[in-house]
Amino acid sequence: MRTQVGIIGAGPSGLLLSQLLHLRGIETVVLEKHSREYVLGRIRAGVLEHSFAALMREAQVGERLDREGQIHEGFFIAHDGIKERVDLRGLTGGKSVIVYGQTELTRDLYEARDRFGGVVMHNAEDVRPHDVDGPQPYLTCRVGGEVVRIDCDYIVGCDGFHGVSRQSIPKDKIRVFERDYPFGWLGVLSRTKPVSPELIYATHERGFALCSLRSEALSRYYIQVPFTDSVDDWSDEEFFEELRRRLPGDVSSALITGPSIEKSIAPLRSFVVEPMRFGNLFLAGDAAHIVPPTGARGLNTAASDIYYLYHALVDHYSKWDNRGLETYSQRALARVWKGQRFSWWMTMLLHRFPDSSPFDRRLQETELAYLFSSEEALASLAENYVGQPF
Residue number with CB closer to ligand PHB (180 or 262): 262
Query: By CB under 6 A, is residue 139 in contact with ligand PHB?
Result: no
CA distance 170 to 305: 22
CA distance 143 to 64: 32
Question: Which of ligand APR, ligand PHB, none lies near 164, with the C-beta cut-off 5 to 8 A by kind?
Answer: ligand APR
The residue range among 20-28, 31-39, 155-163, 291-299 that interacts with ligand PHB, by the rule CB under 6 A, is: 291-299
Question: Which of ligand PHB, ligand APR, none lies near 339, with the C-beta cut-off 5 to 8 A by kind?
Answer: none
Shortest Å, Cβ 143 to ligand APR? 11
**Residues sharing a CB contact under 8 Å with residue 70, sequence separation 6 or more, in sequence order:** 98, 99, 100, 215
CA distance 25 to 231: 46
Shortest Å, Cβ 210 to ligand PHB? 6
x/- letters, 193..232, toward ligand APR (CB under 6 A): ----------------------------------------
Q: What phi and psi values does residue 367 have, to the nearest 5 degrees? A: -60, -45
Q: Please tell me the count of residues contacting ligand PHB according to CB under 6 A.
A: 9
Q: How far is CA 233 from CA 50, 138, 225, 352, 361, in A?
A: 38, 45, 10, 20, 28
x/- letters, 44..63, toward ligand PHB (CB under 6 A): -xxx----------------
Give the orientation angle of helix 375-386 with respect to helix 323-350, to 10 degrees. Answer: 130
CA distance 92 to 95: 6
Subset of 295-314 contacting ligand PHB (CB under 6 A): 296
Q: How many CB atoms are closer than 10 A to CB 65?
A: 18
Select from 191, 228, 186, 189 the least CA-distant residue to 207. 186
Query: By CB under 6 A, is residue 220 in contact with ligand PHB?
Result: yes
Q: Please tell me the count of residues contacting ligand APR according to CB under 6 A.
A: 28
Question: Which of ligand APR, ligand PHB, none lies near 14, with the C-beta cut-off 5 to 8 A by kind?
Answer: ligand APR
Burial classification of residue 222, based on how many CB atoms lie within 10 Å of its CB (0-12 exposed, 13-18 middle, 19 or more buried): buried
Residue number with CB closer to ligand PHB (99 or 155): 99
Candidates 21, 22, 33, 48: give the one binding ligand APR (CB under 6 A): 33
CA distance 353 to 367: 15
CA distance 292 to 345: 10
Residue number with CB closer to ligand APR (102 or 329): 102
Shortest Å, Cβ 15 to ligand APR? 8
The residue range among 31-39, 86-94, 236-244, 292-300 that interacts with ligand PHB, by the rule CB under 6 A, is: 292-300
CA distance 117 to 2: 16
Going 193 to 195 to 197 to 202, the CA torsion angle's sign is negative
Shortest Å, Cβ 245 to ligand APR? 28
- Contact residues toward ligand PHB (CB under 6 A) are 45-47, 199, 212, 220, 293-294, 296
- Contact residues toward ligand APR (CB under 6 A) are 8-14, 31-34, 39, 44-45, 102, 124, 127, 158-160, 162-164, 285-286, 298-299, 302
